């Protein structure tokens, strides 16, 4: 049911036949960071290659560069012993990532940048790197996470929420006696982002002005970081990135290679390109931390939760804490008499972790939703019914109302489409040929985030409209929905809108992370269009040759390229005529949008229900996901094509989380042993069965004017647990350590 308190739903956005950037991408005209060569002659571009440490802990005693410097094409070699000292030292960039920019000789992890080779060609730079003779002073490293849990400590840099949190209801002391309890440990591994486009930066200087093309999710963050590192005014730094080939969080921070590329360009006084190789994506640019989760659940005979407790211990770099709130789903999903969560960290000689698609909620739902499944079995209650019994009508920890929540409808719709009623609750009872068949489900959730954003709208002399914002498109469809938003507000065909983003000279927008770009940028685009209409009205009123001269601004409207009187639409003129009479100067205005005061009075969150069917070979125990059915409550679906694609992509990643992904850190050398896509497994087409994804499409206008919450991350949440629970239903073997591989099923 639609909340009667919800405001009137905004009009549906026009749906273009294809993505705004689709033709450019399929024809190869879309350029990514590593592909730019302008505005300098091709012969002027040189290439840099990062040399990485081969020990996990200690220091670099010396680097003999003579052989490398004499190698073919080499222009310079930067090391901690000759690199320029930065004016004020490297500050913490947006995202608070510690950088390795050759300012000291300390080594904190195997794979840390310790030198840069600059050469005339990419091959020359790579070929010269092994010629460096590096002498280390090695120290005992901190590795082997699972055998050092006794060294766990509280976070040094707690996030927005306290690392320890407890909630007890007023009637908690009088709660009933537990009829069933769960007390288990669940483990998630280190995972690495690996977008199709690796990180790449191209930088050049013109005097004290720095221009950069960078594969980034945050051009404004890059700009602020580089300005701080090189002690430059913000206006002296220009960052561009019109297309991003995936990011998933690793491109949300300005990592060491960005500053090193700019440093190299400053030294050689030439444009420099620095593109990371695939193995260099493992370590220097972030990962999802590994977690050990001790979860206790207790419920009475009716299935009502009496206790939810989750104590998380996670890996963190000796360089810097990165706190991922894996306990968040335990605090937000279900009503319980008592909720207790805590977080602790174990120092490791590994690279700094970072946000990875649905940080916290992905790993949190992966483990907590297994525990809920185990509790349901102990109570002999259907897993969906257990979740409905403990349905949270309000935020369980903050006791705030939801801005909008329709999770019940998600359970009902997805379960019906999936055929959940046919499930046999007893494991190992369904089969087909040599396969054991299992059904599983889980709840999906992710916060609805929104930040301040700005945009510009410009009516052009040729009748087209330009809109721009300093945001980014990671392949999620930001170009498309910006065009849709402008088209709807101005009453134009989507094809009449020109969109520009990925340029730091445009009005400021937030990082494309936390599923906030659509919810932040599109309201700003909408406001910019409104402001441009007001500007057009002002121009018409002041123009003595306009049929609207002297009328009241409140009586005017702009639609489909015309400005006219609301009460008499026949009285007006085309905007092109108005612009032509005024020197053909475009009419433009900036707009902005930001979260309202309601943000503190309610909890804004998205939800979903995920159902999975798996087949497990009786002999090899090889699992295969045959189908996944999911329904999500994400507010307004702004674009059906790009939106469903995002949710499907998240589910695919959830399957990878469940069955494939794990970065193995060698406990002796600290090196990632599987630092390539041959050994670091991710799902391919054959691993994914049928994906049946729908959304409720109920606007959440309490959250923002468009009623839309972000969807880039919720798709991965719940999917891993749904697969894990289905595997248990098929085999009767409960695996509590991801990924769930055949060897773990065979050992049980």
Query: Which residues are catalytic, by number?
Result: 713
Q: Using DSSP, state whether 536 is helix, strand or coil.
A: helix
DSSP codes joined into one string, 207-226:
TTEEEEEE--S-HHHHHHHH
CA distance 658 to 741: 9
CA distance 278 to 675: 8
Q: Sort strands 180-188 and 164-168 into parallel, antiparallel or unpaired.
A: unpaired
User: 406: Cβ–Cβ under 8 A, 6 or more apart, which residues?
Assistant: 1, 607, 633, 696, 698
The burial of 260, by beta-carbon neighbours within 10 Å (0-12 exposed, 13-18 middle, 19 or more buried), is given as buried
DSSP codes joined into one string, 275-316:
E--GGGGSSTT--BPPEEEEEEEEE-TT--EEEEEEEEEEEE
User: 150: Cβ–Cβ under 8 A, 6 or more apart, which residues?
Assistant: none
CA distance 661 to 653: 9
The dihedrals phi and psi of 51, each to the nearest 5 degrees, come to: -100, 130
User: 186: Cβ–Cβ under 8 A, 6 or more apart, which residues?
Assistant: 292, 293, 295, 366, 367, 370, 371, 736, 737
User: 310: Cβ–Cβ under 8 A, 6 or more apart, which residues?
Assistant: 293, 294, 295, 296, 326, 327, 330, 340, 341, 342, 367, 368
Inter-residue contact 143 to 110 (CB < 8 Å): no
CA distance 634 to 649: 16
CA distance 696 to 691: 17
Q: Which residue has the tokens 């690199």?
A: 83
CA distance 428 to 616: 10
- Tell me the two tokens of residue 79: 């090391």
Inter-residue contact 575 to 587 (CB < 8 Å): yes
- Tell me the two tokens of residue 236: 């002296």
Inter-residue contact 437 to 594 (CB < 8 Å): no
Say how many Å lie between the first and final Cα of the chain, rounded. Answer: 45
CA distance 237 to 424: 62
């Amino acid at each position: 049911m639609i909340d009667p308190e919800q405001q009137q739903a905004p009009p549906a956005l026009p749906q273009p036949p294809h993505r705004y950037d689709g033709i450019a991408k399929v024809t190869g005209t879309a350029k990514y960071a590593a592909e730019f060569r302008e505005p300098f002659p091709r012969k002027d571009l040189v290439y840099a290659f990062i040399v990485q440490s081969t020990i996990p802990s200690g220091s670099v005693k010396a680097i003999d560069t003579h052989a490398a410097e004499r190698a073919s094409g080499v222009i310079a070699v930067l090391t901690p012993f000759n690199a320029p000292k930065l004016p004020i030292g490297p500050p913490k960039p947006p995202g608070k990532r510690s950088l390795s920019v050759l300012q000291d000789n300390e080594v904190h992890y195997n794979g840390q940048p310790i030198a840069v080779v600059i050469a005339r060609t990419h091959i020359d730079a790579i070929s010269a790197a092994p010629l460096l003779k590096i002498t280390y002073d090695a120290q005992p490293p901190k590795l082997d996470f699972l055998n050092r849990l006794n060294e766990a400590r509280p976070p040094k840099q707690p996030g927005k929420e306290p690392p320890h949190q407890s909630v007890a209801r007023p009637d908690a002391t009088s709660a009933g006696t537990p009829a069933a309890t769960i007390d288990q440990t669940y483990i998630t591994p280190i995972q690495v982002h690996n977008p199709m486009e690796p990180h790449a930066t191209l930088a050049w200087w013109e005097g004290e002005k720095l221009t950069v093309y960078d594969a980034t999710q945050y051009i404004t963050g890059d700009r602020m970081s580089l300005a701080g590192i090189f002690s430059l005014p913000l206006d002296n730094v220009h960052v561009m990135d019109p297309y991003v080939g995936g990011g998933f969080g690793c491109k949300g921070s300005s990592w060491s290679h960005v500053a090193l590329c700019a440093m190299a360009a400053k030294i050689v006084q030439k444009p420099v390109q620095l593109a990371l190789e695939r193995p260099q994506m493992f370590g220097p640019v972030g990962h999802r931390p590994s977690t050990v989760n001790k979860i206790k659940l207790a419920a009475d005979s009716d299935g009502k939760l009496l206790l939810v407790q989750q104590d998380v211990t996670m890996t963190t770099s000796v360089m810097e804490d990165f706190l991922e709130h894996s306990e968040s789903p335990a605090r937000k999903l279900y009503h319980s008499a008592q909720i207790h969560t805590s977080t602790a960290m174990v120092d490791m000689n590994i690279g700094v972790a970072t946000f990875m698609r649905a940080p916290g909620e992905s790993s949190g739902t992966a483990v907590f939703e297994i525990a809920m499944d185990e509790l349901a079995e102990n109570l002999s209650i259907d897993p969906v019914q257990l979740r409905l019994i403990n349905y949270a009508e309000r935020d369980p920890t903050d006791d705030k109302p939801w801005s909008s929540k329709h999770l019940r409808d998600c359970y009902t719709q997805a379960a019906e489409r999936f055929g959940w009623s046919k499930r046999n609750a007893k494991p190992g009872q369904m089969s087909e040929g040599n396969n054991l068949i299992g059904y599983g489900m889980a709840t999906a959730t992710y916060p609805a985030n929104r930040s301040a954003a700005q945009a510009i709208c410009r009516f052009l002399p040729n009748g087209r409209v330009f809109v721009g914002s300093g945001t980014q498109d990671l392949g999620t469809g930001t170009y498309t929905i910006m065009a849709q938003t402008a088209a709807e507000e101005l009453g134009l065909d989507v094809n009449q809108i020109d969109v520009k983003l990925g340029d730091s000279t445009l009005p400021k927008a937030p990082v494309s992370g936390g599923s906030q770009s659509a919810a932040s940028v599109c309201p700003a685009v909408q406001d910019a269009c409104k402001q441009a209409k007001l500007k057009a009205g002002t121009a018409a009123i002041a123009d003595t040759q306009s049929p609207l001269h002297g009328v009241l601004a409140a009586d005017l409207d702009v639609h489909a390229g015309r400005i006219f009187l609301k009460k008499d639409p026949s009285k007006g003129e085309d905007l092109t005529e108005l612009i032509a009479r005024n020197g053909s100067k475009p009419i433009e205005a900036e707009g902005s949008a930001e979260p309202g005061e309601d943000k503190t009075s309610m909890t804004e969150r998205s939800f979903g229900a995920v159902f999975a069917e798996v087949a497990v070979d009786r002999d090899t125990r090889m699992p295969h996901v045959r189908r996944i059915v999911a329904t999500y409550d994400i507010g307004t679906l702004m674009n059906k094509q790009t939106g469903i694609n995002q949710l499907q992509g998240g589910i695919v990643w959830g399957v990878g989380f469940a069955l494939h992904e794990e970065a193995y850190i060698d406990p002796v050398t600290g090196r990632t042993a599987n630092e390539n896509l041959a050994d670091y497994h991710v799902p391919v087409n054959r691993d994914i069965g049928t994906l049946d994804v729908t959304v409720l499409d109920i606007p959440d206008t309490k959250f923002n004017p468009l009623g839309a919450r972000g969807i880039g991350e919720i798709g991965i949440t719940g999917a891993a647990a749904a697969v894990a629970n289905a595997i248990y239903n098929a085999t009767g073997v409960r695996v509590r350590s991801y990924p769930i591989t055949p060897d773990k099923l065979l050992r049980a």
